[in-house]
Structure 1
């Protein structure tokens, strides 16, 4: 089985080795990475990883009128690492596949869902938990407080990424789900949620978020470390969004994702071969005479970039707000339902966009 993970990165060398080690231990066999106008040495790290046979690296430097993410997806559609794969996932570097079944690898997940064309990996938001400074510690070990299993608002917390079979049912990659369904095949496509339940036909062609009233994580979840430490968040906000049409990283983004209500250490199970394999792979990469110093350089770059941003009042103001704002709390069901009712009315009355 050949499973390819697609990833786009910009100035994220400090997180790269942990993400790769975890997903190789999970069972991904191929990695196709695009780098965008890096200043921290991420592109040099990817060149070295390509030399070591870990991945394929393509530079995706701009300008990109549609945004670097869509430029990457369009280019990747025809790449052999994509066309030759059995399974595909487009991910971000702050998203970690967290499998709960069997030996916690893709092989075990696919054995649990043998009829799946696509598996919706619902985000589980991991909050900041009060972390302030940039530290060179694994993200998965640093941030272990998350959102509850189910809650209704904000609806973005129920978004998913799609792990899907490359069987021709879909002909193009997308951000949250595959696009361009093949009319001859998509009617037979079978979608399942992260708890192994068959999903309705609406998921085969248009849905991008899960049913909030269910536990969508019994077999697999997608740990989403969207915030990180407060200092790292400033550097992330300075970098900007990969999607041209997406809103900026600001206080609204922070508040809608800073849930630290439930401890979830499932990705760190100490008796799991996945955890030990991931740690061993990470240590092996850090020990490389080229990768190790480049990783250290990327961490130092982030700290220097934060210090530079703090010389400007708008960034100091944002950092001050982060320090003053407590963790977000989930809304009581009746308040969330009130918001959802109005959202549904807005969707139903919105004018139809002409393609």
Structure 2
């Protein structure tokens, strides 16, 4: 990038110098050769581009000096310009810069997307799940290899330090619904959490933690959900040993791309026909083949709700059912996936 800017500056400077030299030569030819401005310009042009048709040529000493002046300045300028353009094209910088501009234009149009900071094993797994869910996302990583892998799949990605506010702003954090901080260092995840909440107070922050003692720090920084990778993996190993069928069933639900059944969550608003109805009266099973597993109300989870439990405005329903049935439910007025709601 720095080389490109330097080359552009040199090209601009040489172009300005060449315009001055060319204009001076045209005036000299017009004066010494007694030519009209057009003919003087024509003679200067065929000299610079080394065409030389022979229909016009200098006959005075002053005109010949002007032509010599043009040969050194003009031909040198054309050769240097061609060399620099060739260098840019060979190194692929022009194509890369153009691709970056198209990428940023694509990112600027995103709304309600997810930003994934860190594209290592944890971040790549998150990206894969978001891709399966069909949710828009932007990846950020300092590794050129990780960024290239995502870019080759046609996904928007930005290379750089995710802890910098300017990079998060380029990723459209103002209009993002969630951010996943999956960097290997807890200190970096804390910085990203604080920056994300500062730039977008409504964003949902999900952060990775490598040490148990840093969970509280991440929550204090503003994280909405913290996952300690080592502890989560150990718990899953133990559960797989004791209750393999249960763990397998839950894993199949999470990896729903190969299965008809899936889990989904829906935010119920006052416009919904489900508002102020009991779980039994909602008839989600009859109409959509969906089963309510839990209600989330004011950050409190009501697991396996009683059939008489009322669904009220602001509740989040965690439902289990077929993909087609849940998609139909999501189309109903007043029912939406919380992740797809953008607060501006």
Smaller-chain TM-score bracket: under 0.3
Q: Which structure has greater helix proportion?
A: 2
